[in-house]
Amino acid sequence: MDRSCLSVSYCNPTGMGIYCRAGEWDQEVRTEIHCYWFDFARSRSMVAPARKEAGLTVPPAIWEIPEPLSTDSVKVDDDAVIVLRRHGNPAGPRLVLSHGNGLAIDLYYPFWSLLTAGFDLVVHDLRNHGWNEVGAQENHRFDAFSRDHDSIFVAIEKLYGVKPTVGVFHSISALAALHLPSRGNHYSAMVLFTPPLCNTGPIYSEFEQRAVRTGNMLRVREPWFRTREELAELHTNLHYFQHAVPGVFDLVARTTLRESGTGQGYELRCPREYEAQIWYEASQPAVSVDFASLRCPTRIVGSDPALDPNRPYFDYRAAAGVDYKFVPETTHFLQLEKPEECAAVMLDFLSRQGFVESP
């Protein structure tokens, strides 16, 4: 058998699958596959009953993302262009939402669809993700994400008017929000879901090594698929997604793939080298957040420490002044697993800030 035509799927610490052809494996990747396969088997045994209760035998839901009320392209640094989409209720208070590394904000529709009746939603993908065109890799940097956040805020006010605005970000976009040049001064508040944070000390070395290994694996993940269904099927084996609401496997394929430029099959919207590059840069921002310097009320919403197979790297109890809540029975992708509960935790915080009325 020609092993070069085989592929394997396994998981990195964010829960995203990495699909690589056997011919691309090096020894480090082979070793990491073994480690993650062990973690996968262990976590699979924990979550299988939950998936059975969720009713995997029934056809999955199909999430149909509505057409935006408006679509506007905004130029940020390095001539990158970010496509803003407006959804929801233009008369309501404004939420600005973005996503995690390698993903797309439309994937989070099970969460933000709950907010369309009461809020003016502006959703956008990070540069070189989702609806955005792919630019030069040399400009695909973590610090660019932070600068883009500030530039996008200014553009939103010019396009849609000035009003109280809350930033709602997940994972790498949440970490970028903790490093805003403006320190969040523009926002009325921020709600940040599972930013990848780490404490200083011995645990940082472990975090850094794992980030590098993950980047190495992402560089060789499968970049092309014959059909969207092929990627959706592969995601059924990922332990993080075993808690996701029905229909997410299909949604992740529709939102993270685009038709290939060759006209044959589908390719990743965020190229694998770009996704890997952010992991190589993630360690220093993860360990250097200055919460005291933030200039707007901020809540961190975490996953369940008892359920997440990757042990937490950050002790919020030791971070003075941090408003932290976790959502029970969730992992890193909590907004795709318990969207109603995540929305409730967010709204509770916003009501305390006077941004919305108490329920």
Work out the pLDDT band at 80, boundaries 50, 70, 90.
very high
Q: Does domain 70-201+285-352 have CATH number 3.40.50.1820?
A: yes
pLDDT of residue 3 exceeding 80: no
CB of 332 within 8 A of CB of 214?
no
**pLDDT above 50 for 251:** yes
* pLDDT at residue number 180: 98
Least confident of 5-9, 284-288, 339-343: 5-9
Does the pLDDT at position 51 exceed 90? Answer: no
Average pLDDT of the segment spanning 43-55 = 38
Predicted pLDDT at 249? 94
Q: In the structure, what pLDDT confidence band is assigned to residue 43 with cuts at 50, 70 and 90?
A: very low
Secondary structure string (H, E, C) spanning 97-114: EECCCCCCHHHHHHHHHH
Query: What is the pLDDT confidence band of residue 52, given thresholds at 50, 70 and 90?
Result: very low
Cα distance between the two ends of the chain? 62
Over the stretch 100-145, which tens digit does the pLDDT of each residue have? 999 999 999 999 999 999 999 999 999 999 999 999 999 999 999 9
Mean of pLDDT values over 37-58: 36
Residue 69 pLDDT level (bands cut at 50, 70, 90)? very high
Closest CA to 312 of 230, 168, 194: 194
Q: How far is CA 313 from CA 202, 208, 236, in A?
A: 10, 11, 27
User: Contact, 142 vs 282, CB < 8 A?
Assistant: yes
Q: Quick check: 38 pLDDT over 60?
A: no
Confidence of residue 321 (pLDDT cuts 50, 70, 90): confident
Q: What is the pLDDT of residue 308?
A: 67
* Contact residues for 263 (Cβ-Cβ < 8 A; gap 6+): none
**Residue 73 clears pLDDT 80, i.e. is over it:** yes
Query: What integer pLDDT is reported at residue 16 of this predicted model?
Result: 46
Q: What is the pLDDT of residue 242?
A: 84
Beta bridge partners of 170: 193
Q: How confident is the model at residue 340 (pLDDT cuts 50, 70, 90)?
A: very high
* pLDDT band per the 50, 70, 90 thresholds, residue 322: confident
Query: Average pLDDT in the 62-78 region?
Result: 97
Tell me the pLDDT tens digit for each residue of 197-237. Answer: 999 999 999 999 999 999 999 999 999 999 999 999 988 88
- Predicted pLDDT at 309: 61
Cβ(254)–Cβ(247) under 8 Å?
Answer: no
**pTM (whole model) above 0.95:** no
- What's the confidence (pLDDT) of residue 235? 87
| Percent of residues, the chain, with pLDDT higher than 90 | 73
The mean pLDDT value for 287-310 works out to 90
Mean pLDDT of the chain: 86
Could you read off the pLDDT of 153-208 as tens digits, one per residue? Answer: 999 999 999 999 999 999 999 999 999 999 999 999 999 999 999 999 999 999 99
Domain ranges of the chain: 3-60+203-276, 70-201+285-352
**pLDDT higher than 50, residue 42:** no
Distance CA 143, CA 152 (A): 14
